[in-house]
Amino acid sequence: MWQEIAEVVTRSILISGTATLFAAFWSVPIAMMLTAKDSKFRVALLDVTNTLVGVPTVLVGLVLYLLFSRSGPLGFLGILYTPTSIVIGEAVLITPIIISLSALVLRETKAKVWEMAVSIGATERQASVTMVAESLPRLLMAILLGFNRAIGELGVALMLGGNIKGFTRVMTTAIALEVSKGEFELALTLGGILLLVTFTITAIVGKVGKVR
C-alpha cells in the first residue's frame, strides 16, 4: 500500500511541477508584455486572462480531450492518456492564474521601481531588469500558487490521463477512485498527503512573500 502511495505522490509532484515550470516559462513574459505599456488592447487582454482564471477544469479537459483524441486535430501525436497530456492540461489550466498574479505584481513594482529607474537615467531595458529583480519573490509566490492549483486539480487529470495505474494515476484521481470503491482509508491517507503538500506550499508562499 505504502509503495503505491509513494508512487502516486511522486508522480503527482513531478507532473504538476513540470506543468508549473512550463506555465511559468511563458506566463511571466506574457505578464511583462501586458504591463510594459498602457494600452486599451493590453488592458483588454489582461481582462480576458483574469476571466479565464475561473474557467471550470472540466471544460479545459474537454477541449483538450477533443484536440488529443484520435479523431481530433492533434490525435496523431498519440499523447492522450499519458502523463504528457496531463502536463499540458495543467499548464494550460494554471496559465491564466500565473499571468494574472504576475501582472498584478509587476504593475505594482513598475509604479515604484521602473519609473524611478528611468527618471534617474536608466534605459528601458535596465529599468525592466531592475523591475523583474525586485519582483522575483512575489513572482515566485504566483508560480507556487499555480502549482498548488495544478496538484489539487481533478477534472483535467482524469479526462486526459484516464487514471491508469502505474502510469497516469495521480493523487486526486486516486482519491476519487478509492472513494468510489469504498476504500476510505487509502483515500483519506492520500487526501492527508495532498493537504500536507498544499499547506507546505502555502507556508512557503507566506515566507517568500515576506522576503522583500
pLDDT of residue 211: 53
Mean pLDDT of 21-34: 92
Choice among 131-135, 158-162, 178-182, 187-191 with the minimum mean pLDDT: 131-135
Domains (ranges, CATH) in the chain? 2-209 (1.10.3720.10)
Average pLDDT, the chain: 88
pLDDT of residue 101: 93
More confident residue, 127 or 178: 178
Q: Is 139 in contact with 27 (CB distance < 8 Å)? A: no
The residue type of 62 is L
- Helices 2-36 and 171-181 pack at an angle, to 10 degrees, of 130
Q: Which three cell numbers stand for residue 123?
A: 534605459
What pTM value is reported for the model?
A: 0.90
Q: How far is CA 93 from CA 58, 70, 87, 135, in A?
A: 10, 22, 10, 23
Q: Is 168 in contact with 84 (CB distance < 8 Å)? A: no
pLDDT of residue 209: 61
More confident residue, 112 or 198: 198
Residue 191: pLDDT band by 50, 70, 90 thresholds? Answer: very high
User: 77: which DSSP letter?
Assistant: G
Question: In angstroms, rounded to a whole number, what is the distance separating the alpha carbons of residues 140 and 72?
Answer: 36
| pLDDT exceeds cutoff 60 at 212 | no
| pLDDT exceeds cutoff 70 at 34 | yes
pLDDT of residue 210: 62
More confident residue, 118 or 143: 143
Q: Is 12 in contact with 171 (CB distance < 8 Å)? A: yes
